[in-house]
Structures are given as C-alpha cells and as structure tokens.
Amino acid sequence: MKTSLVIDNIWDYRLPLYQKLRQLLGSTEFLLIKQKLSESLINSNLNYRIIPSKPRLLLTLLRRHQDIMIWGDAGSKKMLFSIIDACICFLISRIRKIPFIIWFGGWEWREKDHWQGIIGVIKRKASFILFPILFKCADAIITYGNLHRRFYISLGINPEKIFIAPNSSLIDTHINYNIESIKRKIGINNSEKTILYVGRLTKRKNVDIIIESLYKLRKTVKNVKLLIIGDGECKSNLQNLCKTLGIENDVIFLGAIKREDLPPYYMLCDVFVYPTSREPWGLAINEAMQFGKPVIATPRVAAAHDLVRDGINGYVVPERDPKALAEAIERIITNEKLARKMGRYSKKIIRKFTYEAMAKGFKYAIEFALKRG
C-alpha cells in the first residue's frame, strides 16, 4: 500500500512521527509544498518530494500511483490557500477512487479576531463555506485532541470518522545539566521560585498577563522570578510594561532558544504558564510536563483540554485574568508538597502522548477509510 501525505512543512520535531508512519504504513511519500529543506530532513531517510506550485502538485499527483491520499495542514493562518491544495488532493482521490483523509489541528479559524481587515473577512467567510464541505467529503479526519473533535462535530461532521492522533513533542529529559550554574548565569538564586513561559511574544499569547500576575503576586510572595523564552513583535512593549510596574529586575527575557537547548530551563522552573487566548495546541505544555512540572493554561489552549487536569497537575484559568493567574501560581509555588504531587501527575498524563500513539491514530483512520471505500 502506498500512502501520499501532502503537507506544507516538515518541522524537525515531527521527523520521529514520520519515521513511525513509514514503519507502520510501509511505502509513504511526503509531498512538501514549498518546503525549505532543513539539514535534519536532508539527512533523514524519508521519501520526500518538493512541490513548488499548485499546478505542479496536480501534475505530480496525476502521474503517481497512490492507495491512500492524506492532506495535512500546519496551521489555519494560511488555511484558505491550503484548502486549494486539499481540493486538488480530493479531486485526484476521486479520479483514482482511493480514500481521502484530512489531517488538521485548527479550531480557532472561526474566531473573529483571527482574521484582520477586509481581506481577512473575505477569507473567513470563504473558509466558513469551504472547510466544512471539505471535511464532510473526506473519508476520515485525523486531529490533535478532544477540543478539535468537539469542534468538528459541531460543524456536522460524523463523529465516527474523526480520529485523534494525540499531538506529541518528545524532548530529551535524560541529559544531565549543571542547573545551579545556569541559575547563576541568568540571575536566579536557590531561594527564588521560577515561573517559566516558552513561546512567541505576540499579542494573542498574553505574556503581558503573566507579567501583570507577577506584579500582583509580588505583594504576597517576594522570592519569585519570571523567565520568558521567545521572541516577537511585542518584546519591547513587554519590557516597557515590566519597567512601568517596577518589576524589571524580576523578569528575565532570554530571547529565542533552540528547542534542543530548552531542557535545563524546563528543569529549573517551578511552574510552567501558557495563558494564550487562542492556540491550536501548545506543544511547550507537552515538553514541560515531561519534566514533571505543574502547568497553568487557559481553556483557549487546545492542549489544556487533554493535558491539564484542573487541580490535579495544574490549573485552567480564564484568559486575560491576571488575578486568577496570580492566585493559581501562588497556590503552587507556596506549597512544595502540592507542586511535587502535580508534577508527578504531569509525568503520568504525558506518557500516553508519544509518536507511537500519534502514528496509531493515522493507522486507525486509514483502516476506517479503506473499509468505507
């Protein structure tokens, strides 16, 4: 059986998944739309082909034999353009009379603030019409988690054909680091508790709310630092906010750090915070939990619906509510017994989120689609 997976990118953290798919499904060809080749991809043994344009995608699919067609999209920002690729895949699947499967992890594209300007409104309305139709035509749908599944069902999609490939990102937790040395280097002493955020510094990430919550928290808890890893257009505004609140010495901006260099920062933190207003998943939560850390997120983070159990391994707090966030952080960092207990539960919960489990989600979807055919 030959599977064609049409996607717009192969991120390095996804390479282990694609290796598992190759082992599980046999002959798998990855058709990459305008992919920039990374060294990791070049050195992998994946069977991939770069497709520079939509006409070339059509010609490539017409010329090649497939038994299964899977279209996958990396995100919903470019969703309208990606739908054209999906329609091409669907058309070829029907010409060839083979199953067509969608792999998609977006749920936030119906939000009004997701699209900006007149062009954004047009894209939003077009997506409202085209995307549910495409979903209904697919023989199976693969998605990340339970929030996505509920959302797709609300669009009128048959629940039987929706399969979860639990969104995973495994990071090395076994390397030994000199944590004390790293703390000294970045200006944290052993008596201080550390809050960690990892992600882009953009408006929807609500990093300003973490800073405001730290300001409130400092009124009752003195020895606490906020560690911010990431970069983005809001960085200077966030730094100015710290100065305005008088807590610039308690907030450490480390800038962007490569994923493979993140482990020591996950290790040294006491709580991981991810308070965004809209997030397709939030893989940094997976990674923090692998290091046994309590997690605080909002219900607008898709990962929170599968990974964060309120009061068990962390808390789910309302978005843009610095008071609620400060209270949740305080409950964790002032109670070491609770923090350790939550950390143990985080490790237990995240064990099921593996590349093997993710690949099996694909396998079950393909088996279902073949039976329908």
For 328-357, write each residue's pLDDT tens digit: 999 999 999 999 999 999 999 999 999 999
Confidence at residue 74, expressed as pLDDT on a 0 to 100 scale: 54
Can you give the pLDDT at residue 12? Answer: 86
Task: Report the range of poorest mean pLDDT among 40-44, 73-77, 81-85, 225-229.
Answer: 73-77
What are the distances in angstroms from CA 168 to CA 13, 23, 67, 164, 279?
A: 9, 18, 27, 11, 15
What topology does CATH give the domain 2-168+354-372?
A: Rossmann fold (3.40.50)
Average pLDDT for 101-127: 72
Query: In the predicted model, is pLDDT for residue 100 greater than 80?
Result: yes
pLDDT surpasses 60 at 221: yes
What's the rounded mean pLDDT across residues 128-149?
92
Beta strand residue intervals within the chain, DSSP E: 2-7, 27-33, 47-51, 68-72, 100-103, 140-143, 162-164, 193-198, 224-229, 251-255, 271-274, 295-297, 314-316
In this prediction, residue 10 has a pLDDT band, given cuts at 50, 70 and 90, of confident
Full DSSP string of 248-304: GGGEEEEE---GGG-HHHHHH-SEEEE--S-BS--HHHHHHHHTT--EEE-TTBTTH
Cβ(275)–Cβ(206) below 8 Å? yes
Give ∠ CA 28-53-120 in degrees, rounded to 5. 105
Question: Which secondary structure element, helix H or strand E, spans residue 94, and what is its range?
Answer: helix 79-96
Q: Is the pLDDT of residue 76 over 60?
A: no
- Beta-strand pair 224-229/193-198: parallel
| Per-residue pLDDT reduced to its tens digit, 251-298 | 999 999 999 999 999 999 999 999 999 999 999 999 999 999 999 999
Residue 75 confidence (pLDDT): 53
- 2-168+354-372 shares its CATH topology with 179-350: yes
pLDDT at 124 exceeding the cut of 80: no
Q: At 312, is the pLDDT very low, low, confident or very high (cuts 50, 70, 90)? A: very high
Domain positions in the chain are: 2-168+354-372, 179-350
Give per-residue pLDDT as tens, 158-213. Answer: 999 999 999 999 998 888 899 999 999 999 999 999 999 999 999 999 999 999 99
The model's confidence at residue 123, banded by pLDDT at 50, 70 and 90, is low
Residue located via tokens 């929807």? 204
Of the CATH numbers 3.40.50.300, 3.40.190.10, 3.30.70.20, 3.40.50.2000, which one belongs to the domain with range 179-350? 3.40.50.2000
- Residue 70: the pLDDT is 96
User: Whole-model pTM above 0.75?
Assistant: yes
pLDDT band at 106 (very low <50, low <70, confident <90, very high): confident
Query: Which residue would you say has higher pLDDT here, 155 or 213?
Result: 213
Angle 222-224-227 from CA coordinates, rounded to 5°? 150
Residue 160, judged by CB atoms within 10 A of its CB (0-12, 13-18, 19+), counts as: exposed
| Mean confidence (pLDDT) of the chain | 91
Cβ 29 vs Cβ 10: under 8 Å: no
